[in-house]
Amino acid sequence: PANCHVVGVSMGGHGALRFAYYEQESFSSATVISAPVFSHDAARKQFGGLLGWLIPYERIWGDLNDADAVPRGADPFIGWPEDAGLRSKKLFVAWGTGDSDGIQKSNELFVQELEASGLEFTKQVYQGDHKWKDWKHVIADAVRSQVAQ
């Protein structure tokens, strides 16, 4: 896994965090760019009402109302700060000044949690929107950061 890196952009960033949790032996780093990074509690609140009828959030987060269905550590706000396997991985978190308020806030909260836990990681807030033209530069920065020894 020394040369394997998982990268996700937008909703794929959430997928990268989930993959990182469930397949820790398969990679050495994770990169999350412009992703909605929700704790399980935040996802439950966000999608528990009318929005939950429109978006099949169980397919994304699992059944968050069933504590046995989704492992506690799969919550990125718990897993990355507490899980020794995840803490040993390089993590790169980035979002843009033009991302939605929800994405910006969720990343800021995630970074605060990581900093409070003492986890070393790379954070990048880039000037740009939620678009590939802006992500391509961040992806290049992430690759350089993640593969550097």
Q: pLDDT tens for residues 103-125?
A: 999 999 999 999 999 999 999 99
Q: What is the mean pLDDT of residues 50-74?
A: 71
Most confidently modeled range among 83-87, 93-97, 143-147: 93-97
The SS3 call for residue 62 is coil
Task: Give the CA distances from residue 65 to residues 4, 44, 95, in Å, rounded to whole numbers and listed in that order.
Answer: 33, 8, 29
For residue 53, what pLDDT band results from cuts at 50, 70 and 90? low
Cβ-based neighbours of 5, under 8 Å, separated by 6 or more: 27, 28, 29, 30, 31, 143, 146, 147
Say if CB 16 and CB 39 are below 8 A apart: no
- Per residue in 59-70, is it b (16+ CB within 10 Å) or e — as a string? ebbbebeeeeeb
Containing H/E element for 124?
strand 122-126
CA distance 1 to 3: 5
Question: 1 falls in which pLDDT band (50, 70, 90)?
Answer: confident
User: Which pLDDT band holds residue 149 (cuts at 50, 70, 90)?
Assistant: low
Task: Tell whether the model's pLDDT for residue 148 goes beyond 90.
Answer: no
